[in-house]
Amino acid sequence: MTALYLASGSPRRRELLTQIGVPFSAVSAPIDETPLPGEAAPAYVERLARAKAAAGLASLASPGVVLGADTAVVLDGVILGKPENREQALAMLGDLSGREHQVLTAVALTDGQRQASLCVASSVRFRAISFDEAWRYWASGEPADKAGGYAIQGLGAVFVTHLTGSYSAVVGLPLSETAELLEKFGIACWQSLEGLAAR
């Protein structure tokens, strides 16, 4: 079976790959995540996903397939990154309050010979968020390392009134689309079930 490497430090992406029964090893793939001048959000996340996969591949000592991914929260065409401090987090939550925004997640796979990537867009609507709620949410520690300053799979779920698209993509990895990409590289899902089926 082809070895898969995940070029991401995200615990969410690790959990999602494990959820669909795909064994993998994690590799470090630090890259510059600064948007290019005039770069559209979909192009930005797909470029970063491909760059992470390439950086991960460069770190391997033996052949394998590397998966890179990147997620961005976008409001009115503006990419909301990870908040650098409380003030920035509160401002982001205030901007998202009572409105719909887009979450873009790109996935890229490469084995050095081939490369494939895609971008999945989802829409998320928030209810109104009071300043006190935003402050208490920041105090929980959850928003600090999250794109857009919230986690749909965590405490931030209470803000979400509507989701159109892929829930797993909003968390960090669109599972249906990722499974299709993996299949093209000879990597099957549900590998953890194969031993059980043979019994």
Check if the beta carbon of residue 71 is closer than 8 Å to that of residue 80. no
Check if the beta carbon of residue 89 is closer than 8 Å to that of residue 144. yes
Q: Which two tokens stand for residue 24?
A: 């993998």
**DSSP class per residue in 34-80:** PPPTT--HHHHHHHHHHHHHHHHHHT-SS--EEEEEEEEEEETTEEE
Q: Which residue has the tokens 């994690």?
A: 26
Burial class (CB in 10 A: 0-12, 13-18, 19+), 194: exposed
Q: Which residues are catalytic?
A: 70
